[in-house]
Structure 1
Amino acid sequence: MIRCVGGIVHDSNGRLLLVRRANPPGEGRWSVPGGRVEPGEDDHTALIREISEETGLSVTVGEWIGSVTRPAAHGVYDIHDYACLVRSGVLRAGDDAAEVRWVTGAILDTLPLTEGLRETLQAWGQLPRA
């Protein structure tokens, strides 16, 4: 199992923060920001780092929302998703993100998402509220 984290971030208007993956897995598809937990990191530290690298935003990590597993080239990704709140920063695509944006529900429905993302967010009550 490869431990990973994801950040579920809504803005004050209820839009959801998504990144378009620049690299495999999910290259070209949209997902919540996140990535692998590096040796010596806990989930919160990894998530703060990943969101900063991918979006330019600094976040406070909140409650655990849920976990999913996804196939990996060499094993299984064990992804733990947390609610996050933006503290500061300027939104910009960086690191593994080809693009980053706040999306409404209508926009979400038009994007090529990573497998199972919409269904998982819906089951967790985390779809965009706008």
Structure 2
Amino acid sequence: MKDLPRISVGLVVWRADEVLLIRRANPPYQGCWSIPGGKVEFGETLHEAALRELREETGIEAAIEGLIDVFESITEHGHYVMADYSARWRSGEPQAGDDALEAAFFPFAKASEKVSWDITRTALQQSAGRRTQKP
């Protein structure tokens, strides 16, 4: 029997025109740049999980502004359902912790180049697009 899908969350954190990225310390995609995030623990809401993962991986505090999208990945690494959110930086300087080798803010264009996974790049682009839309 295959494992059940895992629920995970990610945050595209903006500080002015910069985006927060982490370099992953563990598989899958070890050593690759991505947005902070991880698995939802039992009893946690998606928002609670996203903000916890952000603190654990980077030491950053942020305010969630909205859902970007829900993505799925079905690969040899497993089946993941990922809810990615846009967030606004509130405090802290990036410090790699928990599952991150590095953590830093990058200008949007550089962040888009650094991430190696198309789903993450899509989340970055969708989040940026929403920031430029007029209500």
Task: Tell me the TM-score normalised to structure 1 length.
Answer: 0.85
Q: How many residues align?
A: 126
Give structure 1 stretches of 5+ with no counterpart.
none
Give structure 2 stretches of 5+ with no counterpart.
none
Task: Tell me the TM-score normalised to structure 2 length.
Answer: 0.82
Alpha-carbon deviations, 1:47-86, whole Å to 9, x = none?
1100000110112222111111113556411000111122
SS in 1 for 2:65: strand
- The residue aligned with 1:6 is 10
RMSD, aligned α-carbons:
2.1
- The residue aligned with 1:93 is 96
- The residue aligned with 2:21 is 18
Q: Is the 8 A contact 2:34 2:115 kept in 1?
A: no
Q: CA deviation at 1:92?
A: 0.5
Larger Rg: 2
Moved over 3 A (4+): 72-75
Q: Is the 8 A contact 2:112 2:124 kept in 1?
A: no
1:61-72 equivalence runs, <5 A: 61-71=64-74
Higher fraction of helix:
2
Aligned sequence identity (%): 39
Q: Is the 8 A contact 1:63 1:82 kept in 2?
A: yes
